[in-house]
Amino acid sequence: MSNTTDTFEKLKAIIIEIMANDEAEATALAQSVTAATNLQQDLDADSLDLLEIVQEIEEQFNISVSDDQAEQFTTVGQAVDAINAMQQQATA
């Protein structure tokens, strides 16, 4: 598995954990979340949801995400790319 695939799967699990209210929603999200999924439009995430997602990203990936960086997380794929870049900077 590539780093991008690992990051995507971890982020997808975070999104499901935060956004799903029950098992049916979790199953639906597991099937529908892709790299092109828009966090606000497709998932109907509000600012509190996005804050929780960013906090969980920071914890799970052991990185620090600034407000400016978090605003760049429009789609799941953009978030994955940003997370990977932040992890590379942290280890450089």
Which residues form the catalytic set? 46
Where do runs of H (alpha helix) occur along 20-75?
23-32, 47-61, 67-71
> CA quadruple 11, 6, 28, 22: dihedral positive or negative?
negative
